[in-house]
Structure 1
Amino acid sequence: MTNLVDRPSLGRGDRRRAQLVQAGVELLCEGGWPAVTTRAVAARANTNPGVIHYHFGGLPGLHCAVAHQTCELVISPLVTMFLDAPDTRTALRTMRDALPQTASDDHAMHLAVELIAGATRDSTLGSALGAKLKEVRTEIADHVRIRHPDWTRRRAAGMATLIIAFMDGLVLHHSV
């Protein structure tokens, strides 16, 4: 029988997991996906590689967690700007005005590029990015429907897709 007293508490395990993901994000920003190895992440987090296998089931699971956190860091601030604005026109203007600053943030831009590059090379990372983008589109579409209750779900979903494309395009144009 397992001695439950000697097992780490849920809070401690969650903190360790978050620490490992943060170490992975830092390494991703510094050296791209090739830098995010079990040994490098474990060294950065001052632990042993076995902890990564315990929390993530290995490197692919760690990469997915890092990709998810990277999505949160890169995408969520822009989505929050949109959702917090009083109306759609103001939201788009606010995002447009904020993007030059976002695009000049080397850290965020490097993470965005690595996220896309990783998604094109690894189907698991591509699925993680796709799931996050779908979640964001749904969130924006729901918000658009609240602002325009007479719109169909399809029309709101189409507008959400255009808003995401608007964000992508502005980031691209401001980063080059």
Structure 2
Amino acid sequence: MLAEGGWPAVTTRAVAERAGTNVGLIHYHFGGLPGLHEAVAHKAGREIVGSVVDALVAAPDAPAALGAVRALVPATTGDGQRVRLAVEVMAGSLRDPMLGTVLRQELRTARERIGARLAELYPSWSEGRRAGAATVLVALVDGLLLHRLLDTALPVDEALTALGDLLGDRP
């Protein structure tokens, strides 16, 4: 519903109708519209960020992670519903402090998961270095997705190849 009509479409009445239940049950379960919006933001954040993080933490090494990002950027930006969902979550987080808190937490969780994977791959790195690298990786993916949304001709492959060259991860 969020991807279909934005935050104004996500009402307790509309959700109850879509779920085939009554409005009272939605109010009881979520504590009203603010709680419903918070739950939707959590689910949307996990859907948007989670799949990208899952691919990154599943990568056995840095070249494979770059390959995952190479595949994810066009796939993610080519999915109209996912794009609308991401835009609505971002716009909502800028307007509503509670939604901003939810998005910040989802991004923090993403950085923590990536940091944990980096600890496995690079055990000699300090916690600060892992946190810094995780921050850069999340920002990189986020930035590539945003730029690709704005410019479908963005040379993602070339950018990631150049990054691999800079990191010395090319064979």
* TM-score, length of structure 2 as denominator length: 0.85
Pick 1 or 2: higher relative contact order, CA cutoff 8 A, min separation 6. 2
Which of 7, 11, 19 is the aligned partner of 1:45?
Answer: 19
Q: Does 1:106 align with 2:80?
A: yes
Identity %: 48
1:137 Cα deviation from its structure 2 partner: 0.6
2:134 and 2:86 map into 1 onto residues whose CA distance is 20
Q: Does 1:133 align with 2:114?
A: no
1:77 Cα deviation from its structure 2 partner: 1.0
2:139 and 2:41 map into 1 onto residues whose CA distance is 20
1:98 Cα deviation from its structure 2 partner: 2.2
1:90 Cα deviation from its structure 2 partner: 1.6
Q: SS in structure 1 opposite 2:119?
A: helix
Structure 1 counterpart of 2:141: 167
Structure 2 counterpart of 1:70: 44
Letter matched to residue 89 of structure 1: P
Q: SS in structure 1 opposite 2:51?
A: helix
Q: Does 1:119 align with 2:93?
A: yes
CA RMSD of aligned residues (A): 0.9
Structure 2 counterpart of 1:7: none
1:175 and 1:135 map into 2 onto residues whose CA distance is 24
Q: SS in structure 2 opposite 1:157?
A: helix
1:78 Cα deviation from its structure 2 partner: 0.8
CA contact (8 A) 2:92 2:99 kept: yes
Letter matched to residue 137 of structure 1: R
What is the number of residues matched between the two proteins?
A: 150
**Residue ranges of structure 2 left out of the alignment (5+ in a row):** 151-171
C-alpha distance after superposition, 1:52-80 (max 9, x if no partner): 11101111111010011101211111111
Runs of 4 or more above 4 Å deviation = none
**Residue ranges of structure 1 left out of the alignment (5+ in a row):** 1-26
* TM-score, length of structure 1 as denominator length: 0.83
1:103 and 1:79 map into 2 onto residues whose CA distance is 16
1:92 Cα deviation from its structure 2 partner: 2.2
1:98 and 1:122 map into 2 onto residues whose CA distance is 29
Letter matched to residue 4 of structure 2: E
C-alpha distance after superposition, 1:2-44 (max 9, x if no partner): xxxxxxxxxxxxxxxxxxxxxxxxx101100011011111111
